């Protein structure tokens, strides 16, 4: 598989995961509005560093699992149940959740970088998400688990996260009053994405029966 294709697969998968307005991209946007785009980018750089590490860990974990088809089958079924439950939660329960206020009173660029690292480290969703997606991509023959391929994919994933955060930083001022930035729309967006992942998981389970 071409290294370029693997890079863009990582970028696309990561981009999809960060599209819904969430804590990281909304914090980057609010920092940019309050303190300037430069500090928003600094925050985003910290986020992407952790995403790089998380995706690498997920890929290494997936490489190990790829040699254990019995474990992969079990995890696929577990993942299906988890993604269905997450989808139900965000589509049915969380839609009435009140919007959380994000504090943005840290001033130094260095603090913003570590602030981004800290919030990104709290968000552990990329690890199971990327682990599942890399196993799925490998099952379709779209990537392998050679070192170069993994590093290329992980780099693409970090870049995909940065691209979406960059979008929020520079365009949030124009879209902040739109309905899709509301908490309700955020929940629906996350629910739809996890629902799609659950559907893909279900299709893979049927293919292996």
- How do residues 99-145 score in pLDDT, each as one tens digit? 544 444 445 556 889 999 999 998 888 888 888 888 888 877 888 88
pLDDT at 195 over 90: no
Highest mean pLDDT among 19-33, 62-76, 152-166: 152-166
Place of tokens 């799925």: 136
For residues 72 and 57, give the distance between their C-alpha atoms in angstroms, rounded to a whole number: 17
- For residue 58, the model assigns a pLDDT of 92
The helix/strand count (H/E) of the chain reads as 8, 0
Report the pLDDT averaged over residues 182-191: 66
């Amino acid at each position: 598989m071409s290294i370029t294709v693997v890079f863009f697969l990582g970028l696309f998968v990561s981009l999809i995961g960060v599209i819904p307005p969430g804590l990281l991209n909304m914090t980057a946007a609010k920092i940019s509005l309050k303190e300037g785009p430069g500090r928003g980018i600094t925050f985003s750089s910290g986020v992407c560093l952790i995403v790089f590490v998380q995706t690498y860990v997920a890929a290494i974990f997936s490489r190990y699992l790829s040699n254990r088809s019995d474990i992969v089958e079990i995890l696929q079924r577990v993942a299906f149940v988890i993604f269905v439950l997450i989808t139900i939660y965000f589509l049915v329960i969380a839609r009435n959740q009140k919007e959380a206020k994000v504090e943005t009173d840290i001033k130094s660029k260095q603090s913003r970088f570590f602030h981004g690292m800290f919030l990104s480290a709290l968000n552990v969703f990329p690890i199971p998400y990327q682990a599942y997606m890399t196993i799925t991509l490998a099952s379709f023959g779209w990537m392998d688990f050679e070192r170069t391929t993994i590093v290329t994919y992980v780099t693409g994933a970090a870049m995909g996260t940065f691209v979406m955060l960059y979008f929020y930083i520079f365009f949030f001022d124009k879209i902040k009053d739109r309905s899709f930035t509301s908490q309700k729309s955020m929940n629906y967006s996350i629910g739809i994405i996890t629902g799609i992942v659950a559907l893909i998981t279900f299709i893979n389970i049927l293919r292996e029966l």
